[in-house]
Structure 1
Amino acid sequence: MAEEEAKGLDYIPEVILKKRKNRDELAYIRRRQLEGRNSGKKKQKKVSDIKRPEDFVHEFRAKELDLIRMKQRVKRPKSSPPPVKSNLVFIIRIQGKNDMHPKTKKVLNSLQLRSTFTGVFAKASDNLFQKLLKVQPYVTYGYPNEKSVKDLIFKKGYTIIEGNPVPLTDNNIIEQALGEQEIFCIEDLVNEIARVGDHFREVIRFLGPLKLNKPEAGVLHGKKQVFSDGGDTGNREDKINDLINKMN
């Protein structure tokens, strides 16, 4: 029998072979460049994360100084306190980073002020003002009028449902949560806050901390002195409404 002739290989034009070669080489170069970038980023990140011993010392001393000043503010002899102009207080956290002592941070967290430029409503009381005195360099507060309350709730108001923030755009949400307290819509909610009604506590628990806008340059100067002495912190009384308008 005659031997079957072996089948020859398919002919591939030289132009196509060159294109494949160039494509493979380009893919290889891009892959190496990408790996180099990623490794460079990792190295840069690791170097920037390294703290020198003096950085730890400086941070520790700043936190200890913060604690000492907190104790001094609380123990400082006080003159007769100014009369409270309103039962409603609005508190805004405007400062506070790495120089805070853990005890200061704990007080801010108890006020639900876990990040800068967040604000909360609270009922005026001796216990509240004692807390505010402890964290005075990091907050400013005052007595909001009804217009400020309405603007804040309508623009920034939200609640937490199943771990997610939900804007108050549907009155059914309010009715389901606060209907037993005869609060059925956002107007009822605003009214309850503004007059510090019998169900004020339930409403505040329903609301999440209000996330305000970062103020424009010149509104806050970064000074930890009290507002009455030309700083940013402490009691602004009714002038808190001006700051609310600029941050809402």
Structure 2
Amino acid sequence: MVSYSVPTTQQVLLPETLLKKQKSDATAEAKATETKVQLRKAQIAKRRELVRRAASYRREYQTSERQLVDLKRQAKANGSYYVSAQAKLLLVVRIRGINNIPPKPRKVLQLFRLLQINNAVFVRANKATMEMLQLVLPYVTYGEPNLKTVRELVYKRGYGKINKQRIPLDNNSLIEQSLGEKYNISSMEDLIHEIITVGPNFKQANAFLWPFKLSNPNGGWRTRKFNGYVEGGDFGSREQFINKLVQSMN
């Protein structure tokens, strides 16, 4: 009988450079996987924080509304009337064009950023603002926006000033990149809350918002824009009735 010897398997030796590259690739892949996991966890935590904030804002709004109702009922039970505190926030809408505007009102309109007809902006209600509004009364109408009006304007007509460009606010990350690190405003609800409460960072939040571009009101303006609102016209203070106007223009 003839016997055959089976050749033994020889170990293949890889170049040292290839071994180092494989080790480096494995380390990089593990690091990338860990980074992706950590990023995912951070995103989940951030989302939960935004949801928690939005819920706290809702509770704050509901508590404020209940307190207002209770105060009105209490005043009525005592045979008197409840007088609300002076508004802290105003919404100003430009209703007339550029023809025949004197230099001083033109400058005030520029300061308000009301450069076009049907532009609207939020302003803080204080003595200086009220004096400026008196200078541009024939060209604007204003009033006290409620939460619904502020929310609908920001969500439907909201644009941000990012790198001097008008960018639609369709992503919370746009707000976070511009206002999150310095002012802790990271979402649409944060922005709305800062505006409606006229918070400590109202100036920065309002400057971030581009002036709202509204349409002509449904059914057109009233008899004449050149008469005050209380006279049957359109300019001047509308108080809470500004909300009805904006609803017809939004």
TM-score (norm 1): 0.64
CA distance 1:218–1:158, shift in 2 (3 Å): closer
Q: What's the counterpart of residue 152 of structure 1?
A: 153
Q: Is the 8 A contact 2:221 2:234 kept in 1?
A: no
Indicate whether 1:247 and 2:249 are aligned: yes
1:182-221 paired onto structure 2 within 5 Å: 182-221=184-223
Whole-angstrom CA distance in 2 between matches of 1:201 and 1:230: 34
Q: Is the 8 A contact 2:89 2:144 kept in 1?
A: yes
- Matched residue of 1:141: which SS? strand
| Post-superposition offset of 1:83 | 8.2
Whole-angstrom CA distance in 1 between matches of 2:223 and 2:187: 38
Q: Is the 8 A contact 1:85 1:143 kept in 2?
A: no
RMSD: 1.7
Indicate whether 1:228 and 2:233 are aligned: no
Whole-angstrom CA distance in 2 between matches of 1:104 and 1:84: 29
User: Over residues 29-80 of structure 1, what are the superposed CA-to-partner deviations in whole Å (9 max), with x where a residue is unaligned?
Assistant: xxxxxxxxxxxxxxxxxxxxxxxxxxxxxxxxxxxxxxxxxxxxxxxxxxxx
Amino acid at match of 1:222: R
1:10-159 paired onto structure 2 within 5 Å: 85-159=86-160
| Post-superposition offset of 1:176 | 1.1
Indicate whether 1:238 and 2:240 are aligned: yes
Whole-angstrom CA distance in 2 between matches of 1:190 and 1:92: 19
Whole-angstrom CA distance in 2 between matches of 1:133 and 1:214: 23
Whole-angstrom CA distance in 1 between matches of 2:183 and 2:208: 12
User: Over residues 69-108 of structure 1, what are the superposed CA-to-partner deviations in whole Å (9 max), with x where a residue is unaligned?
Assistant: xxxxxxxxxxxxx986310000000013221112221111
CA distance 1:130–1:172, shift in 2 (3 Å): same
Whole-angstrom CA distance in 2 between matches of 1:212 and 1:178: 25
TM-score (norm 2): 0.64
User: Over residues 109-162 of structure 1, what are the superposed CA-to-partner deviations in whole Å (9 max), with x where a residue is unaligned?
Assistant: 111001100000011011111111111000000000001000000011111223
Structure 1 portions without partners, runs of 5+: 1-81
Q: Is the 8 A contact 2:222 2:232 kept in 1?
A: no
CA distance 1:132–1:83, shift in 2 (3 Å): farther
Amino acid at match of 1:87: K
Q: What's the counterpart of residue 162 of structure 1?
A: 163
Q: May I ask how many residue pairs the two structures share in their alignment?
A: 167
Q: What's the counterpart of residue 37 of structure 2?
A: none
